[in-house]
Structure 1
Amino acid sequence: MPLTVKILEGWRDTKMTGTEWFARFLKMHKTHSLRKPEATSINRASSLTKLMLMLFFYKSERSVWSSAAWFGRHMDMDETGIKSVQISDRVIARRGCKCIGTLMSAEPGKLATSAPDVSAAGNTVPPWSVFPRVKFRAHFLSGAPAETQGDGSRPGWMKAE
């Protein structure tokens, strides 16, 4: 019985699909599109579980109702790493899907750490940035939010010193 499926010429030559196959694939599958995933570290992806979220909100609720002046006194500091090299390839995903992610290694590129701080009442403390340098230079903060402070850190783990 002969095959009735047309085989693309690029497949015969290189034994790989090419751009024409990809264009036909996207044309046949209208529910898919080429998207760029959001980078997520393996630690964050494995830590965010339903149980951990329930525990967080349980403790937060107890803390909020324990004091009437909680909103002005409770500060939330979020430490975030800013990588100098972090590029994700694009992936094919269904249209309308909002949560597209990819796991990224924490090693490539230099990491600057930023720590903004804000209370539920809107009070803020100027953000603090830590750069992977022994000597801190003021121009490291060019383009940073107003009143941002900074410092350098020796290679390795950040310490209390």
Structure 2
Amino acid sequence: MKKGGEVTIGLPLGPKKTIFTPKEEDEIEAYLKYMEERLFGLTTIELRRLAYQLAVKNGKAHNFNTDKKMAGVDWLKGFLKRHQNLSIRKPEATSAARAMGFNKVAVSKFYQLLGYIYDKFELTPDKIYNCDETGISVVSKTKSKILAIKGRKQMGSLSSAERGQTITVEICFNAAGIYMPPLMIFPRQRMKPELLDRAPPGTIAVCNPRGWITSEIFLTWFKNFIKFSGATPTNHILLLLDGHVSHTQNLESD
């Protein structure tokens, strides 16, 4: 409205309404502490992505960035201000973080936690699983010798791909030596049945343009793992895995 030739803009009085309730933010704080205690601490970027996922999943009205699918820096600053007992540090490169994490204190903490879980749930070898991804190249690195004309400096042989393509495989087995059928991620858009010719029985195949594992693909594998291992709220199964984002930043699998 105008008063005496000046333009005034009405602004809401009082503090700005937060996206999450105090109880919900306390649950986020508890989750951050839980993950840090288990050596899977979240970075600031991962926390902002988690906030966006929570807001969308719970139908919260928000002004988060829908293109980047993460909360803004302002929300992060406000959250940290409301939870001053948290100390979220600047994220480091994966290789540096792993190198710094491999020390006597961190390793001792890991084995203390592992021993506690073993004793609490009285786990036997058939209930202790380990999983990880490995990459398989479709182009062999070593080739058999071939016959060629004497004096020729350079020789070549046909290959399925000049630079090579990598197929990611999710491998899992328990301490009793029982292997779960693998999951194979092919670097392509659409699946072809013949890609699984001579694959181990029960092999699961999915496609990803880059051939990498994602949170969605890991969730597909994880649901099959629950069926394979027979895990239930009363039949406790321990799954050991690294802190890759596809493993730890998935609301449904958490």
Report the TM-score when normalising by structure 1: 0.47
- Which is strand-richer, 1 or 2? 1
- Which is helix-richer, 1 or 2? 2
**Which one has more relative contact order, counting CA pairs under 8 Å at least 6 apart?**
1
